[in-house]
Amino acid sequence: MSKPVLIGLTGGTGSGKTTVAKTIIEELGHDNIVLIQQDSYYKDQSHLSFEDRIKTNYDHPFAFDTELLIEHLEDLMAGKSIDKPVYDFSHHTRTDEVVTINPCDVIVLEGILVLENEQLRDMLDIKIYVDTDNDVRFIRRLLRDTKERGRTMDSVVNQYLGVVRPMHQQFIEPTKKYADIIIPEGGYNKVAIDILVTKVKSILKELG
């Protein structure tokens, strides 16, 4: 089996990264494609109390176990299976579960800081930034986090103003310059997704 194609997909919270990643996978209709979310590699915080966990800055590069993520990607590149951690957003820590991922032809790596770390960035074959207006991203996050991540409206607003927004400006937005492709609005940008899918198919064809 040849080395897998590694697609990195980034953008701010609520930009539509996950939606784009899932649509690409659906459109590729390829059995041998896997989604890896950078969120799965948030550091384990089980040694901290819940009160301390909510004080963590989850939008800073230090919040991620990037070493483990790189090690896992290298393993997949080398044709080895990995045990991917499972993160629990409601409790702000890793669970005891893992998901085994087998070697594949295409890996879609999606997350807020996948273009921030140079070593990680250099591993990527295609780099994509999903670019959505800040107000739209905030509204999407507010709806999602109150419905799916066990948050109150006050906590979402306070976290956004105190940490998410400044970290976005400092660490995420500047990585746009590394992207090969910038997708405005995200998940429902059919033209951009079609172009990407065509590109990945042609790489796969070249690799045989």
Site for ligand ADP in 104-163 (CB under 6 A): 140, 144
- Per CB under 6 A, which region of 8-16, 63-71, 150-158, 162-170 contacts ligand ADP? 8-16
56 assigned binding-site residue: no
12 assigned binding-site residue: yes
Decide if residue 8 touches ligand ADP (CB under 6 A). no
3 assigned binding-site residue: no
11 assigned binding-site residue: yes
Q: How many residues bind ligand ADP (CB under 6 A)?
A: 14
Place of tokens 């709806």: 143
Among 85, 116, 186, 200, interactor with ligand ADP by CB under 6 A: 186
Least distance in angstroms from the C-beta of 11 to ligand ADP: 6
Least distance in angstroms from the C-beta of 185 to ligand ADP: 5
Q: Which does 188 bind (CB under 5 to 8 A by kind): ligand ADP, ligand LLZGTKA7, none?
A: ligand ADP
Distances (CA, A) of 197 to 48, 117, 177: 42, 25, 22
Annotated binding site: which residue ranges?
11-18
